[in-house]
Amino acid sequence: MWRHIASNAVTFLIMGLFLLGGLVLWGRGQYDAPGPLSEAICLQVERGSNMRTVGVKLAEQEAVTSAPIFRIGADYEDKTGDLKAGSFLIEPESSMKEIVDIVTRGGASTCGTEVVYRIGINRISTQVRELDPATNSFVERAEFTPGVDDVPEIYTQTKSKADTRFRIALAEGVTSWQVTEALKSIDMLEGSVAEVPAEGALAPDSYEVRSGEDRSAILAKMQASQEQRLAEAWEARDPGLPVASPEELLILASIVEKETGVPEERQQVASVFVNRLNQGMRLQTDPTVIYGITKGQGILGRGLRRSELRAETPWNTYVIPALPPTPIANPGRASLMAAAQPAEEEYVFFVADGTGGHAFAVTLEDHNRNVARWREIEAERGAAAAGNASTGGN
């Protein structure tokens, strides 16, 4: 009898082990399988949350099939203690394993609300925007100019939330003085700036920053990025360029940046200046004259006077026979590469064509025709503006 009981017990034990093994395999399959989510969501993980509460929230949003399996799977992978607070974008059909990886690997929010401080050539603005998970695009909630507009309440509220992301976006062609002054005005940053970085030393880009981050550290990050970009452009430069050093390439790129209105023209604009340097011609470009007047401290806000075109400054390329001594702005990556690899053209002239771009020419005769056409366009626009003013715009 005891043998019979023992035999049954062993049988039941074996069956139990098989069932347990099957249950584990089933749970693992559920953990690794694509999830039920049909549209992307933005998962909010509050400070003090744990995998159990996150699993329950995911189940309520129909992003996982089982909150317990989600928690057990995270515990099995030894990631329970790595949970980060923040806002995380969960894509459709994400598995529980993928979601665990998302909420534990980095801690940086990937969706939700962010504040963007935009440093442009003509203005500085602050934007509050929110990522719409369904379209994966941002929706603007508020925008204002600091020191000019009233500060919206949504900005004050958003800035104080723990999961808000902050970003500083530098436009191509801004000066180092403009960037430094803008950083000083951003109230969520800390620290002073001992001196304005060298012109051209900052990489125009979008930088994610933290509340309380040091201003000098942010500038250092921008400088390191520009150093790398310049090194890459210098390494990739065409042979025979009329620039003797990376610093001269940076100067040329800054001029290309300020003269380019249409991105597709960068290499053509660069070719004009390269051809002029190769032929010993003065560059004769207005942005260098403007820089000689403003030193990069703001915008001129008016047209150039003839006396200013003739004035002897280190940057006036109507007077000096070569490149100016320093960059005149912070060029972006595209302008650096255009200066390093200009178009193979014979152009030595260009003038505005009325579309935002330029009309290029090889000969002075063709250039004069392009200039005459541009003056006709200016006259037509002036007459139209005067007519609108006299009729009240009707």
What's the whole-model pTM score? 0.77
Which has the higher per-residue pLDDT, 279 or 158? 279
Can you give the pLDDT at residue 107? 57
Residues 25, 31, 33, 35, Cα dihedral to 10°? 150
- CA pair distance 143, 138, nearest whole angstrom: 13
Question: What are 321-334's pLDDT values in tens digits?
Answer: 999 999 999 999 99
Question: What are 128-151's pLDDT values in tens digits?
Answer: 998 777 777 788 889 999 888 999
Can you give the pLDDT at residue 182? 95
Question: What are 15-42's pLDDT values in tens digits?
Answer: 554 454 555 565 577 778 888 888 888 8
- CA pair distance 211, 162, nearest whole angstrom: 10
- CA pair distance 263, 29, nearest whole angstrom: 50
Q: Quick one: which of 329, 347, 338 has its CA closest to 262?
A: 338
Who contacts 104 (Cβ-Cβ below 8 Å, separation ≥6)?
74, 79, 82, 83, 84
Side-chain-facing half-sphere of 175: CA atoms under 13 Å: 21
Mean pLDDT of 290-312: 92
The DSSP bridge pattern shows strands 358-361 and 349-352 to be antiparallel
Q: Is the dihedral of CA 180, 186, 191, 192 positive or negative?
A: positive
Asked if residue 2 has pLDDT above 50, the reply is no
- Tokens 């030393």 identify what position? 201
Asked if residue 295 has pLDDT above 70, the reply is yes
